[in-house]
Amino acid sequence: MTLTQALKKHIKNTKRFGDLAAAAGVVETARRFPVHNPSTGELLAELPDMQASDVALAIDRADAARERWAGLTARERSDILWRWHQLIVDHIDDLAAILTCEMGKPLAEAKSEISHAAAYVRWYAEEANRIYGETIPAPSTDRRLLVIKQPVGVVGAITPWNFPASMVARKIAPALAAGCTIVLKPAQQTPLVAGAMFGLARMAGFPEGVLNLIYASDGDAVGKELCSNPKVRKISFTGSTEVGRLLMRQSSDQIKRISFELGGNAPFIVFDDADIDAAVDGAIQAKFRNGGQTCVSANRIYVQAGVYHLFSERFAERVRRLQVGDGFKPDNAIGPLIDSHALAKIEAHVDDAVKKGATVRCGGRRIGAKGTFFEPTVITNVVGSMRIAQEETFGPLAPIIRFEDPEQVIRKANDTIYGLAAYFYASNLKRVWRVAEALEYGMVGINTGRMSSEAAPFGGIKQSGIGREGSRHGLEDYLEMKYLCMGGL
């Protein structure tokens, strides 16, 4: 079966449960845009290319549905979220196959992403029932002071191509639990799994107008409409820092609330007292999950002099064994890069490093003429002036940098405009606390290479973002606080 046939089969399956596009408010347009499989270049689908005027209509629908949705009880909203969770779990195979077709990641990773997406929906189905207010002891006997929480209103959400299912769930599940309505635009490279999830959401019973999906190739025009339309009260975006800056500027006229998860440049530090096998495992996770295409990917691996050779040897040995290719073949651990620009960037990073004296320990080249595959690569003798030490690569390239002084490596790790994720391996407790507190990042992985969880607050500081997703904090981002002062008592 070709991939296109596989995709058609799976889309047909999910279609049995509701017409994906129409159910989610997608309108037909004369213009269409293509979606390709990055592994093969095959055309997977041609979707309606919605324009700014279609986005305005979707916002009107979301606004019209707002009062009724917010007026339901928490339990009623929670019940619908539970049903959506169950439908996602029931259709994990279909959703994962669609995801692998349009994004390229190995099927096992796609399944794990769908489970992660379902976990966000489950978490917020539970949290919906715990939106508590506050009573405050009043300074005089004739008054009572209270705080209630209310939904922000219509939310404009923009999701990225690297996690096209879990980012949808991570944004809209808390928004729906809080009582907000949504207009969401998925990345143009990976809109199909979002369409399938919206179709399942309609089946779960979300009322007309609560969830609105925008298929569009012109992300700028959609972003501009979402940011300038006064009916949208909040923008939630995951993507590059550059686009985040633009959306922030565009939202500032109306002082909209924003939650942004932006770029990173994660350091991964291995100290002399680390368990080296565990550090190698962690570095493989932190660097090569999703082919290195995550905002929290380890981008700079610092290794202390005493364990530099041992770590580099063992790490390169493991990386040599990682197989690259079509995500549907079970032995492949790494799929394609998303497009030719991503391939060109990783090649430029390798070239620049080699010219400046780095050593390629394994990999270093693109694979084949078709697709956008790149060999998993380890580079040693890396120094701070190389592009790989300064810019986010977003691909399967691991640069290793040697260091002597623990205090100096903390300064180097913090010497960036980004502050999303950092990792380190050490066993001395005093050191663990010193480093965990000194790293200027929103998230720090200590003796682990993976930390994303629906139960924990995901997000960055500095130019890596504003707000948090996941956990009870993720719900607060979709709630307004209202102070009530009752006098004359």
Residues that bind ligand SIN (CB under 6 A): 162-163, 166, 238, 261, 294-296, 452
CB of 380 to ligand SIN, least distance (A): 26
Toward ligand SIN, which CB reaches closer, 157 or 296?
296
Toward ligand SIN, which CB reaches closer, 25 or 470?
470
Toward ligand SIN, which CB reaches closer, 455 or 485?
455
CB of 163 to ligand SIN, least distance (A): 5
CB of 261 to ligand SIN, least distance (A): 6
CB of 378 to ligand SIN, least distance (A): 22
Toward ligand SIN, which CB reaches closer, 78 or 452?
452
CB of 360 to ligand SIN, least distance (A): 26
Q: Which of 109, 113, 261, 375 is catalytic?
A: 261
Q: Is 261 an annotated catalytic residue?
A: yes
CB of 37 to ligand SIN, least distance (A): 21
Question: Measured between alpha carbons, how far is 213 from 270 in angstroms, rounded to an integer?
Answer: 44
Residues with catalytic roles: 261
